[in-house]
Amino acid sequence: MSEIDLPEDHPRYASLLTRHRIEAGVEKGITSKQGLIAQGRGEAFDYLLGEQTIPSADAAERAAAAQLLLADHPVLSVNGNVAALVAPEIVALAAAVDADIEVNLFNRTEKRMEAIAAHLREHGADEVKGLTADGRIPNLSHERAKVDADGIGAADVVVVPLEDGDRAEALADLGKTEIVIDLNPLSRSAQTAAIPIVDNIIRAVPNMTAHAEELHGSESETLHTIVDQFVGSDALAAAEEAIRTGAQ
Ligand code: ATP
């Protein structure tokens, strides 16, 4: 039995676990009510993908791990859904690839920023960025544009899970290499990403960490080859194909 009192081989285990964590996130003041809607959209796509990591997503997670290991200043962006779903897993990924963690909210309030930062610290994060907010992403409205100048502002590679399309596009326009985790292969965020990962974040983040641990210590040439061999548009096409032909 697990945290939701269901056997892990239950056919809808992933969706029930995800719902449970999001609900707990709302109760804790971490996840917004809009986050529930984003969750519903993701769940529909996960159902169509058979609640599994398809091979193209695993390849994307491996390429993402290689890209993060090659980065000079990688940052993992965390919003309310991400914090509720995978806080300890984000902390583990940050440690595996030596990345910063930064809180970034679509509906930014100082109270929720603080609650998410505290939640991440409870799960082992030493430093959480995003509260200083002394940098701006151009071409976005005021609150949504806020970042830390020495966090996402200075990053070369950014992981943006469950991100809205405008923000993902604005970050890509700034020249950041974007790794997007999004179950909808048609979303603008996934389409904008250098490395789109079409997988549930609860499977994607631990799998990225496993790949990073396995690739740790590899020659940079090997890592570059893994990144270069990954083609984002092929991965998106493979995900669409899996949805259409019924991966489940
Ligand atoms: P766009 O502007 O790109 O169309 P959007 O308006 O769909 O984005 P949101 O409503 O913020 O943006 O949706 C967040 C995205 O996150 C959705 O595409 C949804 O499929 C995805 N998503 C939700 N839950 C998960 C999850 N657990 N794992 C991965 N992706 C998820």
Chain segment 130-165, per-residue pLDDT in tens: 999 999 998 888 788 999 999 999 999 999 999 889
> For the sheet containing 157-161, what is the strand order?
100-103, 74-78, 157-161, 177-181, 195-197
CATH code at position 165 = 3.40.50.12640
CA of 190 to the centre of ligand 1 (A): 9
Q: Is 121 within the bounds of a domain?
A: yes
pLDDT band of residue 229 (cuts 50, 70, 90) is very high
201 lines ligand 1 (CB under 6 A): yes
Q: Is 117 within the bounds of a domain?
A: yes
Domain that holds residue 118: 55-245
Judge whether residue 3 has pLDDT over 90. Answer: no
> Token pair for residue 161?
């899970």
The structure's pTM equals 0.95
Name residues whose C-beta falls within 8 Å of residue 166's C-beta, 6 or more positions apart in sequence.
Answer: 140, 144, 188
Q: Is 20 within the bounds of a domain?
A: no
Instruction: Look at the chain and report how many structural domains it folds into.
Output: 1
R_g over Cα of the chain: 17
Q: Is 172 within the bounds of a domain?
A: yes
**Probe ligand 1: pick from 184, 198, 202, 236, max atoms within 8 Å of CB?**
184
41 lines ligand 1 (CB under 6 A): yes
Ligand 1 atom index nearest CA of 190:
3
Cα-Cα-Cα-Cα dihedral sign, residues 131, 132, 135, 140:
positive
Q: pLDDT > 70: what percent of the chain?
A: 98
Report residue 184 CA to chain centroid gap: 13
pLDDT band of residue 246 (cuts 50, 70, 90) is confident
CA of 222 to the centre of ligand 1 (A): 32
Alpha helices in the chain (DSSP H): 13-27, 33-48, 55-70, 80-97, 110-122, 142-145, 165-173, 188-192, 201-215, 220-229, 232-245
Cα dihedral value 40, 11, 183, 48, nearest 10: -90
The pLDDT of residue 1 is 42
CA of 185 to the centre of ligand 1 (A): 10
Which SS3 state, helix, strand or coil, does residue 67 take? Answer: helix
The pLDDT of residue 2 is 57
Q: Is 9 within the bounds of a domain?
A: no
Q: Is 222 within the bounds of a domain?
A: yes
Q: Is 1 within the bounds of a domain?
A: no
Distance in angstroms (rounded) separating the CA atoms of residues 5 and 21? 13
Cα dihedral value 11, 40, 159, 64, nearest 10: 30
Q: Is 209 within the bounds of a domain?
A: yes
Residue 27 phi, psi dihedral angles, 5° rounding: -60, -35
